[in-house]
């Protein structure tokens, strides 16, 4: 188990290092930072002085290492627009985003998984067809279209709910539903196909043949095995809690991380964009790591596999 | 250590009778062909230029909401014909999606083949890149690149082309590895064929059906990504227009002129739906292993 944990941790660290390297490369490829920050009409001596002050005259590999060091110590630069630390700007937006993505995650899991299981257990029934139809719609209707349709019906036509902003909990209802429904559809589709695959396995037939009640077969044999692919998707959803609402936040003018990202991209506020990029990658890698560990819990074969291969 | 050779099927099993094409899939094909015709014939069938202004008929509703046949789908705030803009948007969006799908398949398949051919360090590097792209949601990556490099049509197509490259790479690597152990690739190699010939003429045709299925499944995802970026105002830039940017623009007039937004939104949904149906059908038909 320790070895399993060790290799996973190493891979997670490597992936983070690659994201940092990626950020460094595109940052350098996108132009001379001194020139960008000082402006095109800055006097050459001033630009040169800036280069020396920020270490931009050093060889590229030393710049790379100092960049790495700065990021490890939490120095992610300042926003070019309001001069504050990029990390502060981003972190203060996180609660607003979580206020949308956490309830949405609850809807996805609470609606998607039961629907998928039910559809698989009643294959080809009308309920199965309904779940599949909704699941396909959930994939083909982009979130901005769904969001705007909800606004058109519930805010413009019926006037029940506000169309955007963040004044009260009622403002969160439409964005949460938009996010939740799309994700629930994806999850239902995955759960259904995972369940169907497991239900076709010989051990399910064996269990029912030896007289285990069907309910027990489902809860003790089918569900744990079908959980593995489903957990992967949920892991991805947990990993995108911080920046998974880019489009929906824009539709509903919700002041979260996603909205900040869109504005920062439009203004080419590179420090903020880079900060969000690293934060998202870190969240994603952590979520993947947890999923990997859960695999070990769910499937003992994966836990012992590296040891068996080693001896 | 060489991989265990896959069992070689000696005689082809008798072909099962082909099931007729489901009506929904036929409808999907019809819709897709219609969209392709619109894209190809945009200059011929469009009633106006997509930038032409008609200032006397601003925000006029479509025919079925009491408008005139002058502008069958209505006009926007500047009096531009919604139908004309829709036609050109379909062209832009489809062109981007086709270009990006082909780039993704080319890049991914080539990298997959490289990994399978050289093994060792090259393979590890490709697998590390796959890990990297799995660590970032594609939309965030795309937004970051657009922030760093600014926006242009070429960059947008290349960027969207990177979507799903890792899927092709994984498939191409896996299939090339198993093809290598199946004998036919080894046989041509013994005959002195170059790697280009082995991969281009012998391995590729054998894995083409799986790749085509992946392309059909990636295509609607790319349409959705492009329309999402354009909706945010970070994809296709005016005066060019795409389905997503039309929805983004129409959003400002949601209460007064919902038709600006509904026509392109419906087109996005129907097109992705059609291609997804075709992709699912092709997958069940050509490649039951890909699930």
Q: How confident is the model at residue A39 (pLDDT cuts 50, 70, 90)?
A: low
Output the pLDDT for position B15. 56
With cut-offs at 50, 70 and 90, classify the pLDDT of residue B291. very low
- Among A32-36, A62-66, B50-54, B69-73, name the most confident range: A62-66
B49-63, B187-201, B228-242: least confident range: B49-63
Residue A12 confidence (pLDDT) above 80: yes
Q: Can you give A244-279 as a three-state secondary structure string?
A: CCHHHHHHCCCCCHHHHHHHHHHCCCHHHHHHHHHH
Q: What is the DSSP string of A131-169?
A: HHHHHHHHHHS-HHHHHHHHIIIIIIIS--S-SS--SST
pLDDT at A224: 81
B252 interfaces chain A, CB cutoff of 8 Å: no
Tell me which residue in A140, A152, A288 faces B258 most closely, judged by beta carbons: A152
Q: What is the mean pLDDT of residues A290-305?
A: 72
Convert the pLDDT of each residue in B240-257 to its tens digit: 888 888 888 888 888 888
When pLDDT is cut at 50, 70 and 90, the band that residue B103 belongs to is very high
Percent composition of chain B: helix, strand, coil (DSSP 3-state, to 5)? 70, 0, 30
pLDDT of the residue at A77: 74
Residues of A in contact with B230 (CB under 8 A): none
- Residue length of chain B: 291
pLDDT the model gives residue B53: 76
Q: Which of A232-241, A299-308, B155-164 has the lowest mean pLDDT?
A: A299-308
B276-288 pLDDT tens trace = 888 888 877 775 5
**What's the average model confidence in pLDDT over B258-263?**
85
Report the largest interatomic distance among the alpha carbons of chain A, rounded to a whole angstrom.
86
The pLDDT mean for chain A works out to: 81
Residues 229-268 of A with CB under 8 A from B: 239-240, 243-244, 246-247, 250-251, 261-262, 264-266, 268
- What's residue A34's pLDDT? 64
Q: What number is the average pLDDT over the span B233-242?
A: 84
Reply yes or no on whether the pLDDT at A311 is more than 50.
no
State the CB neighbour count (10 A cutoff) for residue A159: 9
Cβ-defined contacts of B231-237 (< 8 Å, 24+): B231/A142, B231/A144, B231/A247, B231/A250, B232/A246, B232/A247, B232/A250, B232/A262, B233/A262, B233/A266, B234/A262, B234/A265, B234/A266, B234/B143, B234/B146, B234/B151, B235/B151, B235/B156, B236/B92, B236/B96, B236/B153, B236/B156, B237/B151
So what's the pLDDT on residue B246?
A: 87
A79 inside 8 A of chain B by CB: no
Given this model, what pLDDT does residue A201 score? 83
Range B80-86 average pLDDT: 84
Average of per-residue pLDDT across A22-43: 70
A30 touches chain B (CB under 8 A): yes
Q: What is the mean pLDDT of residues A108-114?
A: 91
pLDDT at B47: 77
Q: Taking CB atoms and an 8 Å cutoff, what residues of chain B touch A142?
A: 224, 227-228, 231, 268-269, 272
Quick check: A307 pLDDT over 50? no
Question: Per residue in A202-215, pLDDT tens?
Answer: 888 888 888 888 88
**Candidate from A234-243, B49-58, B201-210 with smallest mean pLDDT:** B49-58
Instruction: Lowest mean pLDDT of A127-131, A142-146, B55-59, B213-217, name the range.
Output: B55-59
Give pLDDT, residue A31: 66
Across the interface, do B269 and A145 touch by the CB < 8 Å criterion?
yes
Residues 6+ positions from B66 with CB-CB distance below 8 Å: none
Cβ of residue A178 closer than 8 Å to a chain B Cβ: no
Q: Which DSSP state fits A109?
A: I
Which of A35-39, A166-170, B89-93, B172-176 is predicted least confidently? Answer: A35-39
pLDDT greater than 50 at residue B12:
yes
Here the ipTM equals 0.78
Position B48 pLDDT exceeds 70: yes
A261 interaction partners in chain B (CB closer than 8 Å): 140, 143
B133 vs B206: CA distance, rounded Å: 27
Q: What is the distance between the alpha carbons of residues A143 and A246, in angstroms, rounded to a whole number?
A: 10
Looking at residue B1, its pLDDT comes to 42
Q: Could you tell me if B289 lies within 8 Å of chain A, comparing CB atoms?
A: no
CB-CB neighbors (< 8 A) of A36 in chain B: none
* Range of weakest confidence among B16-30, B58-72, B273-287: B58-72
Cis peptide before B59 (omega within 30 of 0): no
* Cβ–Cβ gap A142/B137 under 8 Å: no
Q: Which of B111-115, B177-181, B257-261 has the highest mean pLDDT?
A: B111-115
Q: At what angle do helices A223-239 and A113-121 cross, to 10 degrees?
A: 150
């Amino acid at each position: 188990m320790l070895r399993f944990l060790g290799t996973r941790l190493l891979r997670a660290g490597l992936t983070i290092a690659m994201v940092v390297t990626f950020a460094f490369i595109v940052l350098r490829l996108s132009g001379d930072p001194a020139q960008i920050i000082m402006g095109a009409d800055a006097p050459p001596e001033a630009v040169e002085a800036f280069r020396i002050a920020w270490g931009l005259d050093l060889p590229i590999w030393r710049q790379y290492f100092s960049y790495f060091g700065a990021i490890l110590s939490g120095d992610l630069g300042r926003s070019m627009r309001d001069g504050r630390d990029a990390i502060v700007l981003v972190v203060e937006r996180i609660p607003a985003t979580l206020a949308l993505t956490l309830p949405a995650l609850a809807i996805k899991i609470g609606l998607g998984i039961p629907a998928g299981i039910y559809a698989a257990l009643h294959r080809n029934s009308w309920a199965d067809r309904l779940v599949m139809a909704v699941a396909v719609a959930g994939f083909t209707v982009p979130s901005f279209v769904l969001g705007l349709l909800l606004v058109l019906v519930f805010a413009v036509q019926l006037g029940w709910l506000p169309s955007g902003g963040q004044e009260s909990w009622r403002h969160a209802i439409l964005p949460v539903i938009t996010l939740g429904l799309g994700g629930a559809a994806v999850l239902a589709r995955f759960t259904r196909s995972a369940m169907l695959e497991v239900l076709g396995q010989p051990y399910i037939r064996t269990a029912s043949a030896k007289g285990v009640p069907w309910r027990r077969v489902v809860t003790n044999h089918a569900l744990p095995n079908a959980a593995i692919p489903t957990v992967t998707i949920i892991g991805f959803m947990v990993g995108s809690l911080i920046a998974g609402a880019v489009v929906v936040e824009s539709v509903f003018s919700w002041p979260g991380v996603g909205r900040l990202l869109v504005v920062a991209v439009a203004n080419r506020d590179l420090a903020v964009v880079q900060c969000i990029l690293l934060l998202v990658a870190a969240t994603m890698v952590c979520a993947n790591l947890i999923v990997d560990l859960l695999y070990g819990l769910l499937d003992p074969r994966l836990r012992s596999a590296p040891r068996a291969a080693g001896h | 250590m060489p991989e265990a050779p896959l069992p070689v099927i000696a005689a082809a099993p008798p072909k099962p009778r082909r099931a007729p094409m489901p009506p929904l899939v036929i409808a999907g094909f019809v819709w897709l062909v219609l969209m392709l015709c619109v894209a190809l014939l945009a200059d011929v069938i469009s009633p106006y230029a997509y930038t032409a202004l008609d200032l006397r008929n601003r925000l006029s509703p479509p025919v079925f909401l009491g408008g005139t046949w002058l502008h069958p789908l209505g006009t926007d705030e500047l009096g531009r014909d919604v139908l004309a803009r829709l036609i050109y948007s379909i062209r832009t969006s489809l062109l981007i999606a086709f270009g990006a799908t082909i780039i993704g398949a080319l890049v991914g398949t080539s990298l997959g083949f490289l990994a399978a051919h050289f093994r060792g360090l090259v393979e590890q590097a490709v697998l590390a890149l796959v890990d990297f792209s799995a660590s970032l949601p594609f939309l965030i990556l795309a937004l970051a690149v657009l922030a760093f490099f600014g926006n242009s049509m070429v960059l947008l197509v290349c960027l969207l082309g990177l979507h799903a490259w890792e899927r092709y790479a994984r498939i191409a690597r896996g299939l090339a590895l198993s093809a290598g152990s199946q004998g036919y690739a080894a046989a041509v190699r013994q005959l002195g064929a170059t790697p280009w010939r082995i991969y281009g003429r012998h391995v590729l045709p054998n894995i083409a059906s799986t790749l085509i299925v992946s392309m059909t499944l990636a295509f609607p995802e790319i349409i959705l990504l492009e329309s999402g970026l354009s909706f945010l105002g970070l994809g296709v830039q005016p005066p060019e227009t795409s389905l997503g940017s039309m929805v983004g623009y129409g959003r400002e007039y949601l209460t007064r002129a919902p038709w600006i937004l509904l026509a392109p939104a419906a087109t996005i949904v129907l097109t992705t739906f059609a291609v997804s149906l075709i992709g699912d059908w092709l997958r069940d038909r050509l490649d039951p292993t890909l699930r």
